[in-house]
Structure 1
Amino acid sequence: MYGALDISVSGLVAQRTRMQTIAGNIANADSILDPAGDPNAYRRRIAHFAPGDPSSTTSHGRGQGVHVSAITLDDSPFRRVHDPDNPFAFPDGHPDAGYVLYPNIDPTIEQINGLEAARAYEANIAAAEATKSMMSQALRLLA
């Protein structure tokens, strides 16, 4: 019974990480500077899931649940916006003169991914509640 609860909790943790990654993407959708102040657009992050719990000490627990295996950078091209008055636009003589590179983030896609993650989070809460209810019923029957 506790295994079922562990699986739900692992899903909650994974979806929370995914939502945090998506929130970071949305927050940086217009960030054209890196933390040092150089014109280096933010690159979209993606949370990748894998089955099982790598921290499990038994082979039994490794095949259950889910975990975030990696958060990677999306290598799709940056958005190019023609804005020659922007101080960070490419200078004259450059092949992209007058263009500014913006993050490769589509806010609509991020919102959809955020809703999907929220629904998956809610589903894991419902599964945990059902498990808790079954455990409570089993204890009542045994007592």
Structure 2
Amino acid sequence: MYRTLFPSDFLADLERMQRQMLRFAGPASSIRGFGRSGFPALNVGTTPESIEIFAFAPGLDPATVDVTIDRGVLTVSGERKSELPSDGNKSAVHINERFNGSFRRVVSLPDDVDPDNPTAKYADGVLHIRIMRRAAAQSRRIEIQ
């Protein structure tokens, strides 16, 4: 009764091509980079004392996640295993909207971060990474005498 203008395979191919283009585009040039789709979803913010990164990765084993800082670039990478049945001809998957496979997210950090003392905590499906700013870069009030 209802017909679509494009077959569903065509739209799936377009979505796949868009994801590949975004993956090959590389990291954003600054911490204020534009939003990109990907796994895990990221929220990045700043305070006067730190850079706060939240990676939303429910159901992920924290032991399978690597967090590294190298030359002002934070990388969050790992792999999520598929939990779908794989009995060959005996099973079929009808809808699969959950991401599985290898992932890698990259965030360019500002020059005033202190890469020697980051912290990372995983709780309730959220990886919280805090990277402190150098003390010399933080503003401070000077008393007038």
- TM-score normalised to the size of structure 1? 0.28
Going by fraction, where is helix more abundant, 1 or 2? 1
Q: Could you say which structure has the larger radius of gyration? A: 1
